[in-house]
Amino acid sequence: MTTVEVLSARDVPLGGLRAMTVRRSLPQKARTLIGAWCFADHYGPDDVAASGGMDVPPHPHTGLQTVSWLFSGEIEHRDSLGVHELVRPGEVNLMTGGRGICHSEVSTPSTTVLHGVQLWVALPGEHRDAPRDFQHHAPEPVALDGATVRVFLGSLAGSTSPVATFTPLLGAELVLEPGASLTLDVDPSFEHGVLVDGASAEVDGAPVERGAIAYVAPGATTLTVRNPLEQTQRLVLIGGPPFGEEIVMWWNFVGPDHDTVVRFREEWEAYSERFGAVEGYVGQVDRIPAPALPNARLRPRGNPPVEPQLLQETP
């Protein structure tokens, strides 16, 4: 039987003066990456009238791509590339912040319930300084028996996303009807993660609670998910080949080592052209200042050695 490792989520505040709470399942001590996916925040459903919604002032990124995917609500995105775009349910926004970028994220006045995921992808060393870029795509839904699949990155269930990435990746939303079970053919060279949005789900027979990620190592050719609930269940499937590089992650920066990340922080505080500026954001502060560095050198983080699944299929 396929071995499933469950990565539980922890609650963390997101944003500046008016922070909303998100459930963060990646990175953590047990695992830094799933493929090149290095960060996963799951939030909502939040009543915006009670929580205040999302208001994240301009902040920087390096060495990564951000992937925004909403289940409900609407977020206004502005960045230093000059992009002004709305994030809507069923539409992926992918921003490349290789050499450096900054952006803001604010839920729109029309949003009553905010619900979705924010994901990051680490860039490999040869593309770590990639120029700023932004891509938007609305994938067509694929109807399967008891389920609907939307593939926003990579290929699955006969659907392929046109969104370009720097390493092979898979990103898809799976919506399962009550009691439905779905078996998908997957790439055995990929490791996979299934993030659970509802109260609980089963991944290759293993129970997984809300906000957690079920991790499956490379080797399996199929992946089976089941919705045990009496209501529709949503899952987010991510995957990719093991990344193979150690990275330093601190605050919003991904870099190769401590000294590089220290330089990024200094340049952000100095309003460097590396990050540019966001036009049009209106908030209580004009940007988020970088936090203080820890009193120790930042250490590169990788993953435990990959142990491929011995069986190619789950019985």
> Measured between alpha carbons, how far apart are the two ends of the chain, in Å?
6
| Token duo for residue 84 | 């002004």
pLDDT value of residue 17: 45
Mean pLDDT of the region 85-108: 97
Share the mean pLDDT of the chain: 93
∠ CA 149-155-161 to the nearest 5 degrees?
85
Residue 191 DSSP one-character state: E
Tell me the mean pLDDT in the region 47-52.
86
Phi-psi map region of 124: left, alpha, beta (phi>0 left; psi -120 to 50 alpha): beta
Whole-number pLDDT of residue 29:
86
Instruction: Output phi, psi for 262, to 5 deg.
Output: -60, -40
Q: Which of 87-91, 255-259, 306-310 has the lowest mean pLDDT?
A: 306-310
Confidence of residue 200 (pLDDT cuts 50, 70, 90): very high
> Any idea which residue has 């390493």 for tokens?
167
Classify domain 5-240 by CATH number.
2.60.120.10
The answer on pLDDT for 314 being more than 60 is: no
Whether the bond between 168 and the residue before it is cis, its omega within 30 degrees of 0, is no
pTM of the model: 0.94
Lowest-pLDDT range of 38-52, 139-153, 159-173, 189-203: 38-52
Quick one: residue 73, left, alpha or beta (phi over 0 = left, psi -120 to 50 = alpha)?
left
Decide if 180 contacts 235 (C-beta within 8 A). no
**pLDDT surpasses 50 at 204:** yes
Cβ atoms within 10 Å of 266's Cβ, excluding its own: 12
Write out the E strands in 80-169: 84-87, 92-97, 101-107, 113-122, 133-137, 142-144, 147-153, 155-156, 159-160
- The answer to whether residue 300 scores a pLDDT higher than 70 is yes
Cβ partners under 8 Å of residue 259, min gap 6: none
Alpha helices in the chain (DSSP H): 48-51, 258-269
Sheet holding 200-203, edge to edge: 181-185, 222-226, 200-203, 206-209
CA angle 20-24-25, nearest 5°? 165
Identify the weakest region by mean pLDDT among 12-21, 92-101, 141-150: 12-21
d(CA 113, CA 111): 6
Dihedral over Cα of 273, 65, 139, 116: its sign: negative
Q: Distance between CA 141 and CA 24 in Å, rounded?
A: 27
Q: How many residues does the chain have?
A: 315
DSSP state of 130: P
Does residue 313 register a pLDDT over 90?
A: no
pLDDT at 310 over 80: no
Are 230 and 213 in contact by the 8 Å Cβ rule? The answer is: no
In whole angstroms, what is the distance from residue 121 CA to residue 93 CA?
13
Asked if pLDDT for residue 16 goes beyond 70, the answer is no
Sheet holding 233-240, edge to edge: 5-7, 213-216, 191-196, 233-240, 170-176, 147-153, 142-144
The two tokens of residue 18 are 């008016």
Strand partners for 215: 5, 193
The whole-angstrom separation of Cα 172 and Cα 244 is 23
